[in-house]
Structure 1
Amino acid sequence: MLGGDWRRPARGRSVELAAEPGTVVEDVETGWVGAVVRVEKAGGIHVVHLEDRHGRTRGFRLGPGFLVDGSPVTLTPPKAADAARMAAARAAASRTASGSRAVTGQRAKVASGSRIFVEGKHDAELVEKVWGADLRVEGVVVEMLDGVDDLAGAIHDFAPTAGRRMGVLVDHLVPGTKEWRVVEQARAVKPYAEHVLVVGHPYVDVWQSVKPSRLGMDAWPVIPRGTSWKVGIAAHLGWPHSTQRDLAMAWRQILSSVQTYADLEPELLGRVEELIDFVTAS
């Protein structure tokens, strides 16, 4: 007589059922009967909302404790919602940090003759983090200038041509500044001018191109004249700032707050995209 499922409840054992919209269920504890209208996550738990025949809606914790046609069921998240989440995850995974469609399965490409030059290490690291995947697909290398005081000399040294273009990203490119005068002279260097594109962003340093909200600030602070800008920023954020190592660590924290292009200001985004288009043009 002990053969079979002799402990089976009178109504049968509960089976899993996806809480798809329109599914009519009864809550065992309250007797509430209604159709599933939506499932949402609140306070770390899934809640199913049931609408009765009078149009009233009530929420219940998703899981066991429901009946369908008198048989017990355990409600699970709707498959449509799971599919949507998976699709969103796949879509996110198919994009690079710059928002471009990711390219997979492509063989390593020999570096092209064209180059993008930036002022320093931090600029190069930021460009690599956001646009690195795109640049590798195109075979474009990013190099450092260590400042732009002798930009004209750097152009002469590189000697760009139609098939070997040179793009340059300059910090603090604002009319009337030293950088502005240097760039104006460099843009006129012959016979290379048509094969060189120099663009810049208005920020004192590339640090400032990161949206301040990513660091818990409403805006980047104004640092008084006579105080090193990076030292002033690190001090404002409450970080160590007395040595170069401290400032390097400050940059690492700022860089870690950047995950995609959405974490950067549009003034930088547009300029880098412009350079990439220029050096990869046929």
Structure 2
Amino acid sequence: MRNYGDIFTRKPAASTYPTQPAALGEVVEVLADGYVGAIVGHEKTYDGDFIRLENNQGKTRLFKLRPGAFLVDGIRTTLTKPQPAARPQRSNSGSTRVVDAPAKVAAPSRIWVEGVHDAAIVEKIWGHDLRVEGVVVEYLEGLDNLPHRLAEFRPAQGRRVGVLADHLVAGSKETRLTDRVGEHVLVTGHPYIDIWAAVKPERLGIRAWPDIPRGEDWKTGVCARLGWANPKEGWNRVYRAVSTYKDIDSTLIGAVERLVDFVTTPELTKADLR
């Protein structure tokens, strides 16, 4: 008779799940309580590695990176802390990459980005260059917060702020909010209603971004017309389509490059960058 051992004390086999890095901008669901949000940050604590998720109401929460703790596109997944990729000769922004250059200590100046998706795109393309310069990129959580954030930060000579805004066109609310920010603050932006539209449509296999009538939620309308399930799927498609500056419109490239120049080159004035 075959001996199966002590079946009452045998430990069950450990479950295994697909693993992927917790990339900024990735939309995930927390298995434990159903919380859904975009990854907007990584944090290290005494208890291990965590990610910060922001939901569609702008609220954020921290979650520990546990095995199989998240759903990604409906699949139970283990998220891990992203590791530095192999470094090519040129960075994603097109600049010459300085091999083995250590990141500088964070400079007093900052770049603030209005939207969470905008911040993810900026980090993906310009992240290496900004770290080399010691420039910190922060999520502004909406342009309405700009006056309050500036009052707290107190920009001054050598302590500049660059702000990237959505839909920065003449006469818009966004433009009016940024008219009188002072000489130590530079606001730039792109003309699109959403950062998605700054991505070249051919990178997503479409001829053009759909026209969405005023009053209809832009992301929802785009997804409906392109046959995407929802904005979560749409953002994952957009984010994965972007690898370098060549994948986005020149208006966004120019806007970010001016901000980088402004916060890293003290001798430049706002007038020099218009």
Q: Which residue of 2 aligns with 1:94?
A: 89
Q: Which residue of 1 aligns with 2:8?
A: none
Q: Which residue of 2 aligns with 1:135?
A: 130
Q: Name the CA shift for 1:183/1:108 in 2 (closer, same or farther; >3 Å).
A: closer
State how 1:158-237 maps to structure 2 within 5 Å. 158-184=153-179, 188-189=180-181, 193-237=182-226
Shift of 1:183: 1.5
Pick the structure with more helix per residue: 1
| Corresponding position: 1:240 with 2:229 | yes
Letter in 2 for 1:168: V
Letter in 1 for 2:202: S
| Corresponding position: 1:278 with 2:268 | no
Unaligned residue ranges in structure 2 (runs of 5+): 1-86, 267-274
The residue matched to 1:194 in structure 2 has which SS?
coil
Q: TM-score, normalised by structure 1?
A: 0.61
Shift of 1:175: 1.2
| Corresponding position: 1:252 with 2:229 | no
State how 1:100-119 maps to structure 2 within 5 Å. 100-119=95-114
Shift of 1:269: 0.4
The residue matched to 1:134 in structure 2 has which SS?
helix
State how 1:49-68 maps to structure 2 within 5 Å. none
Alpha-carbon distance in structure 2 between the residues aligned to 1:112 and 1:227: 41
Alpha-carbon distance in structure 2 between the residues aligned to 1:212 and 1:274: 24
Compute the RMSD of aligned alpha carbons: 1.4
Alpha-carbon distance in structure 2 between the residues aligned to 1:248 and 1:167: 29
Q: TM-score, normalised by structure 2?
A: 0.63
Letter in 2 for 1:231: T
Give 1 or 2 for the bigger CA radius of gyration. Answer: 1
- Alignment: residue pair count: 180
| Corresponding position: 1:261 with 2:245 | yes
Alignment deviations for residues 173-229 of structure 1 (CA, whole Å, 9 cap, x no partner): 111211121122xxx24xxx1111011110001111101111122221111223210
Shift of 1:270: 0.3
Unaligned residue ranges in structure 1 (runs of 5+): 1-91, 242-246
Shift of 1:252: 1.6
Alpha-carbon distance in structure 1 between the residues aligned to 2:236 and 2:110: 25
**Is 2:160–2:185's contact at 8 Å kept on the other side of the alignment?**
yes
Runs of 4+ off more than 4 Å: none
Shift of 1:150: 3.5
**Is 2:103–2:133's contact at 8 Å kept on the other side of the alignment?**
no
Q: Name the CA shift for 1:108/1:150 in 2 (closer, same or farther; >3 Å).
A: closer
